[in-house]
Amino acid sequence: MPRRPMIAPSLLSADFARLAEETARIADADWVHVDVMDAHFVPNLTLGEPVVKAIQAVSPVPLDCHLMITDPERWAPAYAELGAHNVTVHAEACTGDPRDLAKDLRAAGAKAGLAIKPGTPLEQYVEVLRDFDTLLVMSVEPGFGGQSFMPEVLDKVREARRLVDTGHLELLVEIDGGINADTIEAAAEAGVDMFVAGSAVYGADDPSAAIASLRAQAARAFPAA
């Protein structure tokens, strides 16, 4: 099956006073990306379980929860239980074996995602990733929207792609941070499947048109099957 690029707009750049309308505006996206920040793991605070539950109840697209929080073992399963499609925890925040947490997330009915910050090497998590469904490669330091893309993380994307294409891993490769019309092609060429885009989608006059345009741009840059 040929790969197709998928877009996950990040609600971090949406109007928090109108979350239901903001999810309706991106109904043709693949996932909606929800950034949960706890002011400990990252220097910013966004929203937590009650708000994600409210978004889950109205969203026309599956939720992709990106948990930038400490103690994910304690907090992450609740997001799976409330119905999030994919729940991603940071490798740097796990205190135990991330595989145990992946098991818990899957048992609660979600896909399990592992995120790595720009400075975190991929190598040490390759075996762990065999138990995950998504790998989220951060292309900015987590914490804020609207930052500049860090092209140096694409080496990790290329390596993850190689591991998937050779059958060693079976997961979606996701990228998050600074994805827009200027950067999406390089990310697509490197092997990303799922593109998170906050300001590039919600900063556009027509978010739906921005999604279509990013998707088409990525598709053109995908290596031929």
Shortest CA distance to 162 belongs to which of 91, 223, 90?
223
Per CB under 5 A, 133 contacts Zn ion: no
Query: Of the two residues 148 and 168, which places its CB atom closer to Zn ion in the complex?
Result: 148
CB-count exposure of residue 220 (10 Å: 0-12, 13-18, 19+): exposed
Task: Name which position in 5, 98, 113, 145 contacts ligand DX5 (CB under 6 A).
Answer: 145
Annotated active-site residue 131? The verdict is: no
Q: Which of 31, 176, 180, 197 binds Zn ion (CB under 5 A)?
A: 176
From the candidates 35, 38, 64, 133, give the one annotated as an active-site residue.
35
Q: Binding residues for Zn ion, how many (CB under 5 A)?
A: 3
Q: Which two tokens stand for residue 36?
A: 């949960």
Phi first, then psi: give them for residue 224, nearest 5 degrees.
Answer: -60, 140
Strands (E), 118-176: 134-138, 172-176
- Please, are residues 46 and 67 in contact by the beta-carbon 8 Å criterion? no
23 touches which of Zn ion, ligand DX5, none (CB within 5 to 8 A by kind)?
Answer: none
Q: Which residues are annotated as a binding site for a divalent metal cation?
A: 33, 35, 66, 176
By annotation, the residues acting in catalysis are 35, 176
Q: Which residues bind ligand DX5 (CB under 6 A)?
A: 10, 12-13, 33, 35, 66, 140, 142-147, 176-179, 196-200
